[in-house]
Amino acid sequence: MSADPRVSIHPDSGVLLAAIAARLITKLVDTQDRYGDATIVLTGGTMGIGTLRAVAESPACAAVDWSKVNVWWGDERFVAADSPDRNVLQAQRALLDRLPLDPARVHVPGATGDFETADDAAADYARQLADAAAREHAADFSDSRPDEPGLLPRFDVLLLGVGPDAHVASLFPEMAGIRETERTVVGVENSPKPPPARITLTLPVIKSAGEVWMLVAGEDKAGAVGLALAGAGTVQVPAAGARGRDRTLWLIDAAAASKVPENLLRKEPASA
């Protein structure tokens, strides 16, 4: 079961980033009130890293107990650990290095110095996910606890950018990754967007998140937004398949919404 997408439109990318940061801080605080900790899956790109900078600049940033935030990444470029192409490095510079995070809660995908191939790095990241799921299972004393741990920990909010070709994470149209239904993480060796080697969460993992937020700005993304909201096929339009279990929220600017028919804009209530 997944939630139908809702749309929140902002006049420009600057206002949008500030709004996303405010929502994210509130979401993390509310989740910690409920569970004691919170888990976020980060994304790279202009919007993903811009969101982290906006969180860093927010006066409310300190409202989150960052020592009890679990951090994952939706995808990563399989390059050297110190490469400026790394989503991890960009996120550290934008926000993470400024926070009192618990290093044991920050789950970094492997780099070329750690593994020979992107597939090897993907297998290691899948192991990290399964280990985290097992720890959660061991700490769960509720009546609803399953008999056996799953392959994934709880993801409270998962952030995604969208490319002009409608790719999300490193799941590209018509490629093997978007067709994967069994593995939680896969390697990508021939990405149409450089660098060519990457690792990425698969679509079933994205769909396991409680909330999926799509962060999109710019007229060059408007076609992809329109196709995704129209419910195009996931293999051709990966963004169409990215939905959270409880909430799917498109946070976009007016330019990104410019090619979306009004009847497809199921707008988020103002109080949400």
Between 193 and 141, the more confident residue is: 193
Give pTM, 2 decimals.
0.95
- Which strands sit side by side in the sheet containing 157-161, from one edge to the other? 5-10, 247-253, 211-216, 157-161, 38-42, 69-73
Task: Quote the percentage of the chain above a pLDDT of 70.
Answer: 95
Please check whether residue 160 lies inside any domain of the structure.
yes
Residue 147 has pLDDT above 80, yes or no: no
pLDDT range class, residue 259, cuts 50, 70, 90: confident
- Mean local confidence (pLDDT), 141-151: 72
Residue 240 has pLDDT above 80, yes or no: yes
Q: Please write the tens of the pLDDT for every residue from 180-191.
A: 999 999 999 999
Residue 268 has pLDDT above 70, yes or no: no
The one-letter code for the residue type at 151 is L
Task: Quote the percentage of the chain above a pLDDT of 90.
Answer: 87
So what's the pLDDT on residue 68? 98
Residue 33 has phi, psi (to 5 degrees) of: -60, -35
pLDDT range class, residue 146, cuts 50, 70, 90: confident
So what's the pLDDT on residue 272? 45
Q: Please write the tens of the pLDDT for every residue from 13-41.
A: 999 999 999 999 999 999 999 999 999 99
Please check whether residue 272 lies inside any domain of the structure.
no
Count structural domains, the chain. 1
Residue for token pair 């409608």:
166
Please check whether residue 69 lies inside any domain of the structure.
yes
Between 270 and 90, the more confident residue is: 90
CATH for 219: 3.40.50.1360
Please check whether residue 127 lies inside any domain of the structure.
yes
Residue for token pair 């994210």:
24
So what's the pLDDT on residue 111? 98
Please check whether residue 182 lies inside any domain of the structure.
yes
**Considering only 71-85, 114-128, 144-158, 213-227, which range has the smallest mean pLDDT?**
144-158
d(CA 90, CA 70): 18
Please check whether residue 123 lies inside any domain of the structure.
yes
Q: What are the residues facing 71 on neighbouring strands? A: 40, 106
pLDDT range class, residue 143, cuts 50, 70, 90: low
Residue 81 has pLDDT above 90, yes or no: yes
**Considering only 2-6, 88-92, 182-186, 207-211, which range has the smallest mean pLDDT?**
2-6
Q: How many alpha carbons lie under 13 Å from residue 177 in its C-beta half-sphere?
A: 31
Cβ contacts of 162 within 8 Å, gap of 6 or more: 168, 214, 215, 216, 221, 224, 225, 228, 239
Please check whether residue 260 lies inside any domain of the structure.
yes
Residue 79 structural domain: 5-264
Residue 263 has pLDDT above 90, yes or no: no
pLDDT range class, residue 271, cuts 50, 70, 90: very low
Please check whether residue 270 lies inside any domain of the structure.
no
Q: Please write the tens of the pLDDT for every residue from 187-219.
A: 999 999 999 999 999 999 999 999 999 999 999
d(CA 153, CA 155): 6
